[in-house]
Chain A
């Protein structure tokens, strides 16, 4: 877990210096209650909250990802939970900002909340329903002011599948072309955009996993596009 915290602290430090006005404010819970109305179509929180379309959000701070019994999570969030991801302010902030960049196959059909202030308010509201809010720092690493959406020009890049095939040999030391999903996720047959968004999320260290952050970290935009083109066309 140390690696997760370390990368977030460093990111938080960068963000804090760039957005000093946000750095000391966790958000206003009362305003967050209004923001939550959009979430409430699928999620419930508070006394007697139950799983609905989405899992209940009581105790979400400090809860391991994909940990509510009886809820059918995506493979991606399940894997993150196994890898040790525990929801804190930063991670929830990222997930709410851009759910698909965080977990490609998430079942949360929500486009994301771009406004950092609204996210801070929302999280301040949710924080009321976590077991021990006293342990959650008021001035925690704050809402990310950076936009993690992948630039349209990057998404528009047409990848060269032949080049992707060459680069893919670095991936196939672990990921199998037959689409085997045990232990290491399958990466064949993905929609190009999902693949590109996921790889940039690792490259930007938005998505946690040390091996993938390292692998994606040294791929250029063109290389990611080429891999997306190659693996997208590779049938499992």
Chain B
């Protein structure tokens, strides 16, 4: 879709009538109020952009339980020894100090959509004119037979970064010589489609140096995965004979685990393992269910504004949303947050609203200086966020290009975290 300014102005003029109502509504209690739940790539970006661009006209509150946020993106690089944990940790100080965001470290435990309030675990309620939900993912109960969240110490998921990442890394490093690392990979759709396979690469990188006779087994309920040809080429080149990927054709989806005995049973065959990384099926963060806006595991949204189909006062970003063609990634959440921030400002202050545009790129590291990427651009249609154009790294690329791709990913990390946290 090609657009020009004139078209936008026309769009804004046409929208003027609908803008009048929310402005009047907001004026009944002073400044309009936006509450954002979840301080990751979606929520932090949305809070920052609304606060920054409304120049004080909108009160922005960000509710996030963690004082120190660990990005899930690049947490595999921590596991692989390419980053230390502090380098993926971020605080909310600048959002508060430089942008005037009211940062509340608490859990949101309930949403009253009629009263338009959020209740907090620590007591009290927060009123909103617009609510932004960017809670990320939770796991589907019973998705992997024998595993629930109470087993996450014996068999970590490490799919929410921080202490789980530390635990998994420590377990990998403590594996006995020639031991077995197992991963139970998730079914679609899930957060960060290349994530499990980048993790396998990082685990293999660690084991190759410390424990070269160790083995990696991946039980996967899918028959293909993101950047599959690139990963499989890289695994054969860098880690020959180490990784056994068992796809759905070979029973990779028929899996149970026993966290007490540390066994994994794949298609009827039981194996004793030393580390088991269980990444269960996922669903939208639980607050979305509590709000009553989910359909199945996710929240359907309006692609033009990221508003929940079930409630126009709530915008849902990132992993939790069901929007169409975009993957569940930090980059995607950051991109969607800017569209939602613009829509929220337009609704509450009458600022200009331009047509939604989205982009995503996912970089993955296979081994030292061997980076690959996949990405696409998207536009909003009435039905979904639809892919317009895309690109992917090619197999057989030379080492210099792969190194440049990895360096590009480091540049991107610095860019997006500055874009999120200021």
Contacts and interface: CB of A to CB of B under 8 A. Distances in A.
Given A84-B398, A182-B407, A176 B354 contact: no
A173 B354 contact: no
Nearest to B418: A176
A175 B408 CA distance: 10
A103 to B, nearest CB: 15
Nearest to A184: B411
Interface residues of A, number: 37
A214 B410 contact: no
A3 B416 CA distance: 26
A168 B11 CA distance: 20
Contact of A84 (B334, B375, B401): B401
A178 B419 CA distance: 11
10 contacts: A82-B403, A83-B401, A170-B338, A170-B357, A172-B418, A173-B415, A173-B419, A176-B418, A182-B410, A214-B391
B404 A82 contact: yes
Count chain B CB atoms within 10 A of each CB in A173, A211, A215, A226 and give the residue with the most: A173
B404 A176 contact: no
A197 B259 CA distance: 60
Contacts of A220: 2-4
Interface in B127-157: none
Contact of B361 (A177, A178, A211): A211
B260 to A, nearest CB: 44
A109 interface: no
A18 to B, nearest CB: 24
Contacts of B389: 214, 217-218
A169 interface: yes
A131 interface: no
Shortest 7 CB-CB contacts between residues of A and residues of B: A183-B411, A184-B411, A84-B401, A210-B391, A82-B404, A183-B407, A169-B338
A214 B1 CA distance: 13
Interface residues of B, number: 44
A180 B408 CA distance: 12
Interface in B402-422: 403-404, 407-412, 414-416, 418-419
A173 B334 contact: yes
B404 A3 contact: no
A173 B404 contact: no
A166 B401 contact: no
Contact of B335 (A79, A160, A173, A223): A173
B394 interface: yes
A183 B409 contact: yes
B421 to A, nearest CB: 13
B5 interface: yes
Contacts of B173: none
Interface of A: 1-3, 64, 79, 81-84, 160, 163, 166-167, 169-170, 172-178, 180, 182-184, 210-211, 213-215, 217-218, 220, 222-223, 226
A177 B416 CA distance: 11
Contacts of B394: 1-3
Interface string B346-385: 0000001010010101000000000001011100000000
B342 interface: yes
Contacts of A169: 49, 338, 419
A81 B4 CA distance: 35
B318 to A, nearest CB: 13
Contacts of B352: 166
A173 B416 contact: yes
A175 B231 CA distance: 27
A214 B411 contact: no
Contacts of B407: 82, 182-183
B28 interface: no
A211 B389 CA distance: 10
B54 to A, nearest CB: 13
A172 B415 contact: yes
Nearest to A80: B404
A79 B403 CA distance: 11
B290 interface: no
B2 A82 contact: no
Nearest to B354: A166
A180 B335 contact: no
- Interface-centre pick from B49, B400, B408 (highest chain A CB count, 10 A): B408
Contacts of B397: 1, 84
Nearest to A79: B404
A83 to B, nearest CB: 5
Given A184-B408, A222-B5, 7 more contacts: A1-B401, A84-B397, A163-B5, A166-B342, A167-B354, A170-B357, A223-B4
B375 A172 contact: no
Contacts of B4: 220, 222-223
A96 to B, nearest CB: 24
A156 to B, nearest CB: 16
Nearest to A85: B401
Contacts of A173: 331, 334-335, 359, 412, 415-416, 419
Contacts of A183: 407-412, 414
Nearest to A226: B5
A93 to B, nearest CB: 22
Contacts of B338: 169-170
A83 B3 CA distance: 31
B415 A174 contact: yes
B354 A1 contact: no
A218 B411 CA distance: 23
Interface string B312-338: 000000000000000000010011001
